[in-house]
Amino acid sequence: MPGTVRIRAFALIALFSGLILQALPAVAQEQAIGGTLSQRAEEGEDPVPVEGVVITVTQDGNEVGSATTDAEGNWTVPVPAPGDYDVALDASTLPPGVTLSDPERSELTDINVRPGQTRRVIFQLGGGGAGGTSTWDRVASLVVVGLKLGAIIALSSVGLSLIFGVTGLVNFSHAELVTLGAFIAYVFHAGGPRWPLVVAALPAVLFGVTFGWGQEKVLWGPLRRRGMGVLTMMVVSIGLGFALRFLILAFFGGLPRAYPDFASQGAVAFLGFSVVPKHVVAIVAALVILGGVGLFLERTLAGTALRAVRDNPDLAESSGIAVDRVVALTWALGAGLAAIGGVFFGVTESVQWSMGFDLLLLMFAAVVLGGLGTAYGAMLGGFVVGISVEMSTLFFPNELKNAVGLVLLIIMLIWRPQGLLGVRERIG
Amino acid sequence: MDWSGAITNGIISALGPVAIAYAVSAIGLNLQFGFTGLLNFGHVAFMMVGAYGTAATVEAGGSLWLGIGVGILAAVVLGLLLGLPTLRLRADYLAITTIAAAETLRLLVRSPVTRSVTGGVFGIQGFAEEFHALNPFGASTGYAIGPLVVSGRRLFVMIVGWTVVLILALIVRRLVKSPWGRLLKAIREDEDATRSLGKNVFVAKLQALALGGALASVGGVLLAIEQQNVSPDSFLPQVTFIIYVVVILGGAGTIWGPMLGAVIFQFFFYFVDSVMRQAQANVSWVGAILDSAGAAQIRFVLVGLGLMALLVFRPQGMLGSRREALVDG
């Protein structure tokens, strides 16, 4: 900010040492990380700038800012203070045919920034010609990215919605079921056994199912039988989510990680669109799984029992349905789906301690949009929210895209609180 | 293991500026949640609005005292804006809307769009000279009671801060003992019955939300003045959850609970921090499973577990009565 005298660096030091800020040396110190992203097709040729690539700067796992490269390939992310930062290039935003020369180096860690410095960071690009991207291409690729995010939200939030449906609990710790799924797959994929991700996802889902079922048996079931109300249980779930989230942070650290096999998959041209293969796989796989959930709910005895309990627990119980078992089944199903959602989220974005909580508010948006308590509502809402969030980057800065999802939620609650597919009832 | 060091650390934090901000904020949340039964999960937004209102006003050339007024007024406006459309919703919907609204507001403050006013990710620094210039103790002079050493700067903030806490607690005490206070409690106990007695439940809830928000903004203002710094990432949703722990720990629906809760919470938070740091460095098996950054997170894990344990085993907290404790009976 030219013209304004800033005392940022000094204020931060004073903050920690408890000094008073009198007689300050008025030094304007601004730091930033930036660079120019360009690609040299052949040795000796002029470099071609690469536009529209998202680069994110984080510190200790917290996002400091992000930038999209402009027409000249330039990008700058201002940083608040000198120190070490991690800079990540989102390989899925690279235009078709452009790849990182070294796929392992999509994230550069511990970039030191000195006071007042604009630190230059260079990502080496290889591959064929870059070429410009038209608005139409951008819309098309945002639709794919939006569908991908929608698929993840839909998978993750079916459980949130069904658990609310059968128990009345708005489960804030649902976020951590997503995160745990992603981390357990990470441990088996990148850690010791080095299983392919498809195989590593199995223990993640198994853990999710067991953990969800176990939670109901050990915690929620007993609390319900003690007569604890759903609102108090909601606050309990906040405590549980809080504890799990920071436990993951304590043991895995704050750095975002990527599944090694998918770390920097670039976009490819497909029917004239620029798409990232893993996004398409995630969308298709999610649709298949969601279809399976639909069949389960409609065609099996257990699914019918689940719907009966959701509609009227007392009536279901008096018709001979073992309500407690149905509730435990719902927890297992919902938590397992959340774990799959977490793996997909980890594949397409990154595996990070706060990923679930970042997704949670969008999940709430999806669930409320579709109708709290319904499975199909959560699916529909998930896709609507995912696409709206990603498409909004056409009009608003990247930093505001999640806010768009939340505004959607607020508007929906005010206009039609029962959701698109919900049944109208008094909720005032 | 240096236990006395950990205890000293805990006591200094328990009386420090953050505890003061939590106490003031918790007094506000207690009015909403403890007395009226409103599940406001966006409480941190009120603190943020207070802090940013102050900082941005000074940055734009106003005086600090004008800034404090602007901050508090902005919180009242936020309370009305948030309450008008949402207070007719059921409690769980209110919770979701308020947390979403608070996070939207934070993302907006953080975004490049509002950067000329809010400073974006940098926030605003160095706006409270006028306050610290009034300090009679000498900023860098150290003051000690036994092993407890504080700087004159901190001592001044503590004296002003706790005076404000005391005044606000007395105001709230007067309010909740009035007919209006009884109306709030009636709404908490049975909203429909209160409505059938001809009371305007909606207006009372709106008043409680806005007034509680104004109180919370004072907490945000105090913290901003002490730190001479506001930045969007100090107003994450987890702050709201910590204030809930403070209120429930002290006793929801009591006058002195929020203050007691804030002091005890901060004491344990820093006590555990000191103990974990030492254990990580000196106890081999702890050092083997956790690095020093990880050890610093364990206190947050305990906050979460503590919240669960409180609600399960002692929902009335330290000062409350069990009969009034649970929002839903």
Give chain A positions within 8 Å (CB) of B121: 64-65, 78, 80
State ipTM: 0.90
Inter-chain contacts counted by CB atoms under 8 A, chains A and B: 199
Question: Cβ(A334)–Cβ(A327) under 8 Å?
Answer: no
Q: What is the mean pLDDT of residues A15-30?
A: 36
Indicate whether A86 pLDDT > 80.
yes
Q: Do B107 and A228 touch (CB under 8 A)?
A: no
B103 touches chain A (CB under 8 A): yes
Residue A97 banded pLDDT, cuts 50, 70, 90: low
Tokens standing for residue A35: 């660079």
Segment B47-81, tens digit of pLDDT: 999 999 999 999 999 999 999 999 999 999 999 99
> Contact at 8 Å (CB) between A98 and A128?
yes
d(CA A124, CA A114): 23
Residue A66: both structure tokens together: 């992000």
Q: Give me the pLDDT at residue B49, please.
A: 96
The torsion angles phi and psi of A134, rounded to 5 degrees, stand at: -85, 165
Using a CB–CB cutoff of 8 Å, tell me whether B315 touches chain A. yes
Q: Which residue of B has its CA nearest to A371?
A: B93
Q: How close A269 gets to chain B, by Cα (Å)? A: 32
pLDDT of residue A311: 87
How large is the average pLDDT for residues A175-180?
96
CB contact under 8 Å between B326 and A229, yes or no, is yes
Report the residue of chain A nearest B156, measured CA to CA: A20
- Banded model confidence at residue A128, pLDDT cuts 50, 70, 90: very low
- Between A352-361, A417-426, B250-259, B272-281, the lowest mean confidence (pLDDT) is in A417-426
Q: What does the pLDDT look like over A247-266, one tens digit per residue? A: 999 988 888 888 887 776 77
- CA-based nearest residue in chain B for residue A395: B113
B108 touching A (Cβ < 8 Å)? yes
Q: Examine the pLDDT at A47 and tell me if it is beyond 80.
A: no
The percent of residues in chain A predicted with pLDDT above 70, rounded, is 85
pLDDT band at A56 (very low <50, low <70, confident <90, very high): confident
* Alpha carbon of A47: minimum distance to chain B alpha carbons (Å): 30
Q: Is the pLDDT of residue A73 over 90?
A: no
Task: State how far the Cα of A24 lies from the Cα of A46, in Å rounded to an integer.
Answer: 48
CA distance linking residue A29 with residue A338, whole number of Å: 45
pLDDT at A4 > cutoff 70: no
Verify whether the Cβ–Cβ distance B306 to A239 is below 8 Å: yes
Separation CA B252–CA A47 (nearest Å): 64
Distance CA A249, CA A309 (A): 37
Regions of chain B short of the pLDDT cut 70: 324-329
Taken in order of first residue, the domains within chain B and their CATH numbers are 3-325 (1.10.3470)
- Does residue A41 have a pLDDT over 70? no
Q: Residue B154: CB partners within 8 Å, gap ≥ 6?
A: A18, B16, B17
CB contact under 8 A, B327 and A229: yes
B126 contacts in A (CB within 8 Å)? 7, 10-11, 21, 24
Residues of B in contact with A254 (CB under 8 A): 293
Nearest Cβ partner of A232 from B241, B298, B311?
Answer: B311
> Can you give the pLDDT at residue B246?
95
* Burial track A53-86 (b if 16+ CB lie within 10 A, e otherwise): bbbbbbbebebbbbbebeeebebbbbbbbbbebb
The whole-number pLDDT of residue B288 equals 84
- Given CB atoms, is B142 within the 8 Å cutoff of chain A? no
Burial of A273 per CB tally in 10 Å (0-12, 13-18, 19+): middle
Four-CA torsion B142, B145, B148, B153, nearest 10 degrees = -30
Topology given in CATH for the domain delimited by A136-415 = ABC transporter involved in vitamin B12 uptake, BtuC (1.10.3470)
CA distance B150 to chain A (A): 9
Q: Count the residues in chain A.
A: 428
**pLDDT per residue as tens digits for the range B117-160:** 888 888 899 898 889 889 888 878 888 888 888 888 899 999 99
Q: What is the DSSP string of A255-305?
A: --B--GGGTT---EEETTEEE-HHHHHHHHHHHHHHHHHHHHHHHSHHHHH
Sign of the Cα pseudo-torsion (B293, B299, B300, B305, in order): positive
What pLDDT, on a 0 to 100 scale, did the predictor assign at position A359? 93
Q: Specify burial of residue A314 (Cβ count, 10 A radius: 0-12, 13-18, 19+).
A: exposed
A423 in contact with chain B, both atoms CB, cutoff 8 A: no
Picking from A15, A235, A406, the nearest residue to B103 by CB comes out as A406
Question: Residues spanned by CATH 2.60.40.10 within chain A?
Answer: 8-133
Q: What is the pLDDT of residue A414?
A: 79
Indicate yes or no: CB of A428 within 8 angstroms of CB of B90: yes
CB contacts, 8 Å: A427 with chain B: 89-90, 93
**Chain B window 160-219: which residues touch A at a Cβ cutoff of 8 Å?**
none
Whether A79 has a pLDDT exceeding 60, the answer reads yes
pLDDT at A2: 41
| A387-406 residues touching B, CB cutoff 8 A | 396-397, 399-400, 402-403, 406
Residue A381, pLDDT score: 93
Class of domain A8-133: mainly beta
More confident residue, B10 or A117: B10
* 211-240 of B, contacting A, C-beta below 8 A: 227-229, 231, 233, 237-238
By C-alpha distance, the chain B residue nearest A410 is B97
Task: Determine the average pLDDT of the residues in A206-217.
Answer: 96
* A26: closest CA of chain B, how far (Å): 11
Please name the member of B93, B112, B300 whose beta carbon is closest to the beta carbon of A427.
B93
Predicted TM-score of the model (pTM)? 0.83
Residue B180: both structure tokens together: 């209006």
Chain A residues whose beta carbon lies within 8 Å of the beta carbon of residue B306: 239
Question: Other C-beta atoms within 10 Å of A402: how many?
Answer: 20
In chain A, CATH 1.10.3470 sits at: 136-415
Query: Which residues on chain B are in Cβ contact (under 8 Å) with A361?
Result: 99-100, 103
Identify which has the larger pLDDT, A58 or A146.
A146
Bigger pLDDT: A311 or A105? A311
